[in-house]
Structure 1
């Protein structure tokens, strides 16, 4: 049995849980972090000295932390060739786009945009800063827009690990109240992702507990 520690409202936990659903892996998840606490206990810190979520333990194996490392572990051990190719060059293509999404899109969206809109009280928000952050984000979304004009998913005609890392961000991107540039290929891609059971179950869910109000 795979065990996961991490709250459902964490975007990193959502990416992990979506992947677990796509791979049909038996699992148990325990809330940890933020209002749920538990991530500063000796037992948790023995698993992850950073005190962050998610943490995954597969059976009696040593715990794994850092979302990207966890996802690659699961893909290597349990996924089929479409999700995580066995061919080293094809796998590098998937891994390249997964890292691109994590480094360039997640880091340009989560704190600069999402936190400023949702996790900041309206009276303390910085509209100009948000607008500038969206402009930076748009440069990377334009890269995805071009890539998604070539095939149904980020790397090929099949969902892969790269789509987990990129796609899980899109629910919040399209849900929050911001001015969005039109990216037709990304919008079509998002609609396809929204039809997947794992996406609906673990990604397209309420984040109200994160919202800060005046």
Structure 2
């Protein structure tokens, strides 16, 4: 059985859990990281020398990096569907997964860490403001892209919607002022109502 290490409050663990649920792959998840610790043990470091979550063990195959894990699970269990069969559609999905990791997530990180995980009297308002501005710009990019698209690559739900959807969940949950994004909101409603998103996009930010 697939085993997943990582606390469910981690966005990167959420992506992997969501993908496994979408693919109906049975799995066991073990809390690790954050208040659960366990990332410095020799056993864990052998699996992931970065000392981060998530990590999976799929019948002896160890893999870390959340987007790589989502791609692996989708290609193994959902080829042609969650993992698009058409080369250009798959490249499009890859592009959005990379954008989530290199643009949307880094731009939002300071706002999330300051507003959700930092006591109010210790927050850096300038850091928050800069991060919120970057996050909102990224959200507006998504808003424009979703014109005449049900999902990020068109008409079908793919790995791209999992990666970017988990990040959008954070953006929509932050106590900030946001621009009007009706298309993004409609897309988020579509993906959050999927059975596989329950227990992931239904979680409060923590």
Give the CA deviation at 1:129: 2.7
CA distance in 2, matches of 1:44, 1:131: 36
The structure 1 segments of at least 4 consecutive aligned residues displaced by more than 3 Å after TM superposition are: none
Q: Which residue of 2 aligns with 1:143?
A: 141
CA distance in 2, matches of 1:128, 1:197: 39
CA distance in 2, matches of 1:140, 1:198: 25
Question: Structure 1: where are the runs of 5+ without partners?
Answer: none
CA distance in 1, matches of 2:105, 2:127: 17
Does structure 1 retain, via aligned residues, the 8 Å contact 2:173–2:204?
no
CA change 1:112–1:53 in 2 (3 A) is same
Q: Which residue of 1 aligns with 2:152?
A: 154
Does structure 1 retain, via aligned residues, the 8 Å contact 2:32–2:39?
yes
Q: Which residue of 1 aligns with 2:180?
A: 182
Give the CA deviation at 1:126: 2.5
CA deviation vs aligned residue, 1:58-102 (integer Å, no higher than 9, x gap): 1122x1011111111111111131321223222111111111122
CA distance in 2, matches of 1:122, 1:176: 14
CA distance in 2, matches of 1:77, 1:58: 11
CA deviation vs aligned residue, 1:151-198 (integer Å, no higher than 9, x gap): 111111111011111001222222221111111111111111221122
CA distance in 1, matches of 2:5, 2:33: 9
- 1:201 aligns to what SS in structure 2? coil
Give the CA deviation at 1:113: 1.2
CA distance in 2, matches of 1:54, 1:201: 17
Structure 2 counterparts to residues 91-170 of structure 1, below 5 A: 91-109=90-108, 111-170=109-168
What TM-score comes out, normalization by structure 1 length?
Answer: 0.91
Number of residues of Structure 1 aligned to a counterpart in Structure 2: 206
Structure 2 counterparts to residues 1-214 of structure 1, below 5 A: 1-61=1-61, 63-109=62-108, 111-207=109-205, 210=206
Question: Structure 2: where are the runs of 5+ without partners?
Answer: none
CA RMSD of aligned residues (A): 1.4
Comparing 70-79 and 10-19, the one that deviates more: 70-79
What TM-score comes out, normalization by structure 2 length?
Answer: 0.94
Does structure 1 retain, via aligned residues, the 8 Å contact 2:100–2:167?
no
